[in-house]
């Protein structure tokens, strides 16, 4: 690092690099790469450079849930993205017309609109903003599902980097990617890519494995036995709701988030009268809960005709769902992960327990009670 010795000095002193130094590191490395290989280096040059950076600065290595080799945030060969690629693309934007290596590529949407893209010799060099624009223009329908999924996959790395780096609000994310609103199934595929294909674990385990064991644990607690009264005659959604209430008793809120055990469940699921308009759910009087984080609202009751809606009042966001309660809880949790949202403080232990069901690393410090409950469940036969 002869061109930027301060980077090495900072690393030796702190064992890490500030964001400013990391940007300088990328700028310096790309400058050297361009000097040697030009603005369009060979496919092997960028991953080799990324690995070299990690070899020099080991603490910059990042692996998510044990995936990858730790250098992919600098350059990921699979998605052709990362800090190095972003810097290269920014440099190419300033090239003269004769210096560029691209062709015009036309894509026609299902509505017959023709969109022109500037593309390099590889499809992965398409500018992300153009693909995002196409996602917004494609109407949410079964006919367009394949095209929308394809564009969402192409913009995945850019989207994750933007959400992680900028921490946009839920409203900003859904404004940029509105198909999450009218096609909630996209939350499943997004969550699956984030977590290494763990999208179906909650649906597989909650009713078949977790609920029976929660019932066994509650049966040993006299104060909780009344919650189980008549559970054998309940509908699936009623039984699911009962287990969620039970979970809020077993994992009550702690610290500054302490609230009444009876009201804790409303931060996860609240009810409004049948016939309530979805558009009115963001008003202050639409439900009894005052949570500032997304929650589920049930229009109707658990034993008759109903609809679940994810509601984020602060962001004026509503996402209607067409599934049962188990699927609705699954979608709500995935929304928190996809949009990088903080859990409601009142439900932090409960959401940490959900992380266990999804086989994810715990992201909170409120886990002592959760670990105790997990031990009890494992002891149940």
Residue 345 sits in the same domain as residue 356: yes
Same domain, 249 and 110: no
Mean pLDDT by 10 residues, the chain (381 residues): 81 81 89 86 88 90 70 82 85 72 44 46 52 78 84 90 93 94 94 93 96 91 86 93 95 73 90 93 64 90 92 94 96 97 93 95 82 88 65
* pLDDT in the model for residue 123: 42
Whether 252 and 119 map to the same domain: the answer is: no
Same domain, 187 and 205: no
* Same domain for 275 and 321: yes
Structure tokens at 320: 């209607």
Same domain, 290 and 366: yes
369 and 234 in a common domain: yes
pLDDT for the residue 118: 46
pLDDT at 108 (0 to 100): 41
Q: Which of 97, 124, 141 is the last residue of a domain?
A: 97
The closest alpha carbon to 170, from 319, 317, 332, belongs to: 317
User: In terms of domains, do 342 and 295 share one?
Assistant: yes
Q: What is the pLDDT of residue 99?
A: 63
Single out the residue in 69, 97, 125 at which a domain terminates.
Answer: 97
Residues 175 and 222 placed together within one structural domain of the fold: no
Q: Which domain holds residue 32?
A: 5-97
DSSP secondary structure of 299-359: EE-TTSSEEEEEEETTTTEEEE--S-HHHHHHHHHHHHHHTTPPPPGGGHHHHHHHHHHTT
Listed residues 97, 112, 136: the one ending a domain: 97
44 three-state secondary structure: coil
> Per the structure, how many domains does the chain have?
3
Judgement on whether residues 159 and 294 belong to the same structural domain of the protein = no
Q: What is the pLDDT of residue 103?
A: 42
Report the half-sphere exposure of 248 (CA within 13 A, side-chain side): 22
The model carries a pTM of 0.67
332 and 212, same structural domain? yes
| Residues 332/309, Cβ–Cβ less than 8 Å | no
Same domain, 91 and 15: yes
């Amino acid at each position: 690092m002869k061109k930027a010795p301060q980077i090495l000095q900072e690393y030796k002193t702190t064992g890490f690099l500030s964001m400013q130094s990391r940007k300088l590191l990328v700028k310096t490395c790309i400058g050297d790469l361009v000097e040697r290989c030009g603005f369009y280096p060979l496919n092997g040059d960028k991953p080799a450079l990324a690995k070299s950076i990690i070899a020099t600065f080991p603490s910059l290595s990042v692996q998510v849930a044990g995936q990858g080799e730790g250098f992919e945030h600098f350059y990921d060969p699979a998605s052709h993205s990362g800090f190095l690629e972003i810097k290269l693309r920014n440099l190419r934007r300033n090239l003269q017309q004769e210096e560029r290596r691209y062709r015009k590529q036309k894509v026609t949407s299902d509505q017959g609109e023709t969109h022109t893209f500037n593309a390099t010799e590889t499809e992965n060099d398409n500018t992300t903003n153009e693909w995002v624009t196409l996602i917004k223009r494609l109407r949410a329908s079964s006919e367009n599902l394949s095209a929308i999924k394809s564009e969402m996959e192409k913009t995945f790395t850019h989207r994750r980097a933007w959400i992680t780096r900028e921490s946009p609000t839920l409203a900003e994310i859904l404004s940029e990617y509105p198909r999450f609103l009218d096609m909630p199934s996209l939350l499943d595929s997004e969550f699956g890519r984030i977590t290494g294909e763990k999208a179906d674990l909650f649906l597989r385990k909650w009713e078949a494995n977790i609920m029976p064991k929660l019932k066994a644990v509650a049966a040993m607690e006299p104060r909780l036995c009344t919650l189980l009264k008549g559970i054998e005659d309940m509908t699936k959604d009623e039984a699911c709701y009962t287990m969620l209430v039970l979970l809020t008793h077993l994992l009550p809120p702690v610290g500054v988030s302490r609230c009444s055990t009876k009201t804790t469940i409303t931060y996860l699921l609240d009810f409004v009268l049948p016939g309530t308009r979805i558009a009115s759910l963001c008003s202050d009087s639409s439900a009894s809960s005052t949570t500032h984080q997304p929650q589920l609202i049930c229009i109707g009751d658990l034993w008759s005709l109903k609809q679940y809606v994810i509601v984020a009042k602060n962001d004026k966001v509503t996402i209607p769902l067409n599934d049962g309660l188990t699927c609705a809880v699954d979608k709500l949790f995935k929304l928190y992960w996809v949009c990088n949202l903080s859990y409601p403080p009142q439900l932090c232990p409960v959401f940490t327990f959900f992380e266990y069901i999804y086989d994810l690393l715990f992201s909170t410090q409120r886990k002592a009670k959760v670990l105790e409950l997990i031990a009890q469940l494992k002891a149940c036969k």
